[in-house]
Amino acid sequence: MSDMNNNVKDNKKNPFKRLSSFKKFLIIYASALIVIIAAALVILHGFLKDYESGRPANTMDTLVAHIEKGNVGEWIKKSGLLGEFETESIVSDYFRDTFEGKQISYKKKAGEYSESTPVYVLYADDDKIASVSLDESRKNAHKFTEWKLSSINFNVNAQDKSHAVKVTVPKGSDVELNGVKVSSDYITGESSVDLCKHVSDYVDTPVNDIYEITGLFTAPDVKVYSSGKELSTELDKEGYVAYYPGDDSLLEEEKQHILLVAENYGKYMINRGSLTTLSGYMIGTAKEYMSDIPAIDVYLIGRTFTYNITDENISNFRKYSDDCYSCNVDYKLNVNWSSGSTTYDIALTYIFVKQDGKWMLADFKIR
């Protein structure tokens, strides 16, 4: 009797013992099934996550997300695509300015995209901005390929020339892009200074070094130095051009000589000067060219007149070496006669060379 009472008490404490064997089986089976389903869901989640991360478009989505957040420069640096002349902020600012107020999208690049080498075109609204190539990063746990940025090529837009620069500088100059010195490894050649192409019979033709830097995200800040002095630099259709430096001391020495040659040119043009005198200041191309220029303007034929020279100015004085320099000369040649007057705006570019200790005009251009 005592044992029966104990069994009743045990059953009350443990209701599971009162269940039939079938019900016990169902509970155990259901519990195991729940565990299996939970495990399967975890595995499926991991599988789908790996599958998603293995889609090339996922990497492009990440690129777009970073552009939208404004920190794409940091991500590009981690991808190994940030060059030595640009910073994270420069790149982030470029993408911000490019896509500001525009829809960012991408499409597979026709003719280049493949499953093994994905290539996309990045758009700002309907404008093509860049061609983005991806490369295999690693295989994840489910053997799906994960992708990383391989290159960003801006040549997709032929009108945008800001991602590669050509810098033409006086030979031996130092070049900086965004404050970073450019090594001589970037020199791709040299060229003669076009203005001085006719001086080689008398002095060494001045030469420029040509630097070419590619793979930039945006147009750089370019500075050029010679002997520690920053040179005047301009951007033209071919790229950046730095000019040979001036020399205030030499200009001061030569100023009166330059103006004397220029004034004699003006006097000759109105038949108040001598070609012989003018040619005495010249050699080579300048002397040959001067002999072909007519001496008098048709308006002055048969007239009695007076003249004077005003607003003389020398500019763009460039010293190429101790025996070669160039400059611009401008002045007004005012001619008056009894019934009228005219003013000639004289604009010349002179190239002088030193011969036997004397500066001679070797070439000139009428501007």
The fraction of the chain above a pLDDT of 70, given in percent, is: 83
Bigger pLDDT: 278 vs 35: 278
Q: Higher pLDDT residue, 173 or 13?
A: 173
Query: 248-366, what's its fold?
Result: Nuclear Transport Factor 2; Chain: A, (3.10.450)
Mean pLDDT across 19-27:
69
Separation CA 223–CA 119 (nearest Å): 35
Q: How far apart are CA 315 and CA 147, in angstroms?
A: 57
Q: What is the pLDDT of residues 111-162, one digit of tens each?
A: 999 989 999 999 999 998 888 999 888 776 656 788 888 888 876 554 555 5
Per-domain boundaries in the chain: 53-156, 165-242, 248-366
Q: Where are the beta strands (DSSP E) in the chain?
A: 104-108, 119-124, 127-139, 145-153, 165-170, 174-177, 180-181, 187-192, 207-213, 222-226, 229-230, 233-236, 239-242, 305-321, 324-337, 340-355, 358-366
Cβ neighbours for 359, distance < 8 A, ≥ 6 positions apart: 254, 257, 352, 353
Chain segment 198-222, per-residue pLDDT in tens: 999 999 999 999 999 988 888 899 9
Task: Give the Cα separation of 209 and 189 in Å (integer).
Answer: 6
Statement: residue 225 has pLDDT above 60: yes
Amino acid in the structure at residue 316: N
